Copies of this chain bind each other. A is one copy, B any other.
Amino acid sequence: MNIGEVSRKAELPAKTIRYYEDIGLISPLRDTNGYRSFRDSDVHKLVFLGRARALGFTIEDCRNLLALWDDQDRASADVRAIAKEHLAQIESKISDLQAIRDTLSHLVRECAGDGRPDCPILQKLEEFPT
């Protein structure tokens, strides 16, 4: 599979995919003409990378998460521990997002549409969870 098709499937620019190869996140094969030749597993990784990056995981986080999947010997407690750490991080991201969603949807429901200057969201904002 060439880079264009992969780019469409993974919804990542070709530039970014080449960059991910440069930094060793993926290692597509090469055809005789020099074109990159992607396997399904490369595409899966790229889909994952696209999502994880969009959610604020760093490249190094992603490298670790991919290593969990690549690990041929994933029986160790280490791997489990790393995965659990990441799970905790993900749970916390989810609740942060929920907090932002709640605040924003409150803003939409209560404050848009009537122009009153003492919009209750302003009070709410003062308590915005820290």
Q: Is A18 an interface residue (CB 8 A)?
A: no
Q: Which residues of A52-78 are within 8 A (CB) of B?
A: 52-56, 65, 68-69, 72-77
Q: Is A87 a contact partner of B112 (Cβ separation < 8 A)?
A: no
Set of chain B residues within 8 Å of A34, measured between Cβ atoms: none
Taken together, the copies of this chain in the complex come to: 2
The distance from the CB of A119 to the nearest CB of chain B, in whole angstroms, is 6
Asked whether any CB of chain B lies closer than 8 Å to the CB of A48, the reply is: yes
B74–A87 touching, CB < 8 Å: no
The one of B44, B54, B87, B101 in contact with A94, judged by C-beta atoms closer than 8 angstroms, is B101
- Counting CB contacts under 8 A, is A90 at the interface? yes
Decide: A119 and B74 in contact? CB cutoff 8 A: yes
Q: Label chain A's interface by main secondary structure.
A: helix
Q: A76-B112, A113-B75 are in contact. Are A97 and B93 (CB under 8 A)?
A: yes
Task: Give chain B residues whose Cβ lies under 8 Å from the Cβ of A128.
Answer: 44, 47-48
A30 in the interface (beta carbon within 8 A): no
A residues adjacent to B (C-beta < 8 A): 9, 40, 44, 47-48, 51-56, 65, 68-69, 72-77, 79-80, 83-84, 86-87, 90-91, 93-94, 96-101, 104-105, 107-108, 111-117, 119, 121, 125-126, 128, 130
